[in-house]
């Protein structure tokens, strides 16, 4: 039976004249790693402050392990819940040890004396976050990543059962972000620490979180697994911009990206170019064609091919085949359909082997149907098929009126020339 660690029931909260949280209800169970997401100013920080009893709710009830948080004594609350703020600043020259010792402030004696178990907790926290080497340095002189680890050590020294982080890692560079996240993950997995992470990096959170809480304008819009919450339509409304959610082909984690379609916002020519590429020969072509305003399709590509990756990144419609296998019939059929609906077929400077020669056959077939085909010059030097299949196919192409191109500039000029005048 999972126990509730933090419960909000119909909580509304805010400042003097402004209500920020509007009847928020949710539960975070013990041992969960939950990400709280939402656009700036939606009330995430206020939610954390309300959970930590820094703000008293206007209505509703906040419970920590089943007890009203407003009624828990401050010292005991600190042993249940720790908060790592966005940034802590120490204007005075306190050393790292002194800062971390602050975590035990509520169990200190009258004169700030620490017991043996206090020292133990402080040392463990510093070792866990790998800051014991910094112990005598001044806190204010540390780098942002180190400061954040010290802040985490200080909160760990409280020995809390829940840790809440308020965008504490968003401003760190990728290396330090990974470090801090790794520590959090370890805490969650090894010590079953409950973690509530306010985050702006949806992709990063998707990789580590058990659950998401999505907030918008003070309300909890959706709670659920990353896959449930990270819906493009929902996110796009909440964040008020085009967002795409894709699954990473290798790890299966969800990736949220802003739409990279600024390439196509410019002008649309209403003409489609099918690109036969592979091995990285297609990237520049895709980009230039998209910039010029063509609709681009591509295939058949191997799923692990870097061109497949770039096609995905540029949202180019593509036919993909499983890695290391010959192109199957249905993929060929799919590509044939694409070619049929395209206005022009462009062959990049891709080498041909037995695996992808079928693409060239498709091009020759299209040329004989009267489709305009433009191929990169020197195609015969890139023939790696056993039976030297490229030469006969090229001859067919040339016989059907296909022409070679040398540079992308030349290709673009040719495409422009082919375009029917309006």
Residues lying near another protein in the complex (CB under 8 A) are found at 15-18, 49, 52-54, 74-79, 81-83, 85, 88-94, 97-99, 102-103, 105-106, 108, 110-112, 114, 116-117, 119-120, 122-124, 127, 135-136, 138, 140-141, 154-155, 158
Least spacing, CB of residue 74 vs another protein, in Å: 4
Please state, in angstroms and as integers, the Cα–Cα distance from residue 9 to each residue in 41, 78, 136, 235, 275, following that order.
21, 21, 44, 24, 56
Nearer to another protein, 78 or 290 (CB): 78
Nearer to another protein, 127 or 418 (CB): 127
Q: What size, in residues, is the chain?
A: 422
User: Closer CB to another protein, residue 7 or residue 97?
Assistant: 97
Supply the minimum distance, in Å, between the C-beta of residue 139 and another protein. Answer: 9
Nearer of residues 117 and 266 to another protein, judged by Cβ: 117
Supply the minimum distance, in Å, between the C-beta of residue 262 and another protein: 39
We find the least distance from the C-beta atom of residue 172 to another protein, in angstroms, to be: 19
Residue 199 Cβ, how far from another protein at the closest point, in Å?
19
Q: Which is nearer to another protein, 54 or 227 (CB)?
A: 54
Q: Which is nearer to another protein, 17 or 233 (CB)?
A: 17
Distance between CA atoms of 379 and 406, rounded to whole angstroms? Answer: 11
Q: Write down the least CB distance from residue 51 to another protein, Å.
A: 11
Q: Are 254 and 244 in contact (CB under 8 A)?
A: no
Q: Other CB atoms closer than 10 Å to residue 213's CB: what's the count? A: 24
Spell out a b/e string for 362-374, using b for 16 or more CB atoms within 10 Å of the CB, else e: bbbbbbeeebbbb
Tell me the closest approach of the beta carbon of residue 63 to another protein, in angstroms. 18
CB closer to another protein out of 91 and 422? 91
């Amino acid at each position: 039976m999972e126990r509730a660690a933090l419960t909000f029931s119909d909580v509304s909260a805010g400042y003097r004249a402004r209500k920020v949280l509007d009847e928020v209800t949710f539960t975070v169970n013990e041992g969960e790693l939950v990400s709280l997401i939402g656009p700036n100013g939606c009330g995430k920080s206020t939610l954390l402050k309300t959970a930590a009893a820094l703000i008293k709710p206007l209505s509703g009830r906040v419970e920590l392990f089943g007890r009203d948080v407003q009624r828990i004594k401050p010292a005991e609350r600190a042993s249940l819940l720790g908060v790592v703020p966005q940034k802590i600043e120490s204007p005075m020259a306190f050393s790292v040890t002194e800062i971390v010792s602050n975590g035990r402030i509520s169990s200190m004696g009258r004169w700030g004396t620490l017991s043996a178990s206090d020292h133990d907790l402080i040392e463990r926290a510093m070792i866990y976050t790998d800051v014991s080497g910094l112990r005598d340095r001044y806190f204010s002189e540390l780098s942002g990543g180190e400061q954040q680890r010290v802040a985490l050590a200080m909160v760990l020294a409280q020995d809390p059962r829940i840790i809440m982080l308020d965008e504490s890692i968003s401003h760190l560079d990728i290396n330090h972000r990974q470090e801090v996240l790794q520590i959090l993950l370890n805490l969650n997995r090894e010590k079953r620490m409950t973690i509530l992470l306010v985050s702006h990096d949806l992709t990063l959170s998707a990789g580590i979180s058990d659950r998401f809480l999505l907030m918008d304008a003070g309300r909890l819009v959706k709670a659920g697994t990353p896959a449930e919450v990270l819906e493009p339509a929902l996110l796009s409304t909440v964040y008020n911009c085009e967002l795409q959610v894709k699954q990473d082909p290798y790890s299966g984690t969800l990736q949220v990206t802003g739409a990279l379609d600024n390439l196509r916002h410019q002008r649309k020519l209403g003409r489609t170019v099918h690109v036969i590429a592979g091995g990285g020969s297609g990237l520049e072509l895709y980009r230039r064609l998209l910039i010029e305003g063509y609709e681009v399709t591509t295939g058949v590509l191997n799923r692990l091919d870097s061109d497949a990756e770039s096609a995905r990144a540029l949202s180019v419609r593509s036919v993909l085949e499983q890695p290391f296998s010959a192109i199957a019939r249905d993929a060929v059929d799919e590509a044939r359909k694409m070619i049929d609906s395209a206005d022009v077929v462009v062959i990049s400077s891709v080498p041909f082997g037995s695996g992808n020669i079928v693409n060239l056959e498709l091009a020759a077939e299209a040329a004989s149907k009267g489709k305009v085909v433009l191929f990169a010059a020197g195609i015969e030097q890139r023939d790696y098929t056993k039976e030297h299949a490229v030469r006969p196919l090229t001859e067919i192409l040339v016989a059907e009126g296909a022409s070679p191109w040398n540079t992308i500039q030349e290709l673009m000029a040719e495409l422009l020339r082919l375009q029917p005048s309006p």
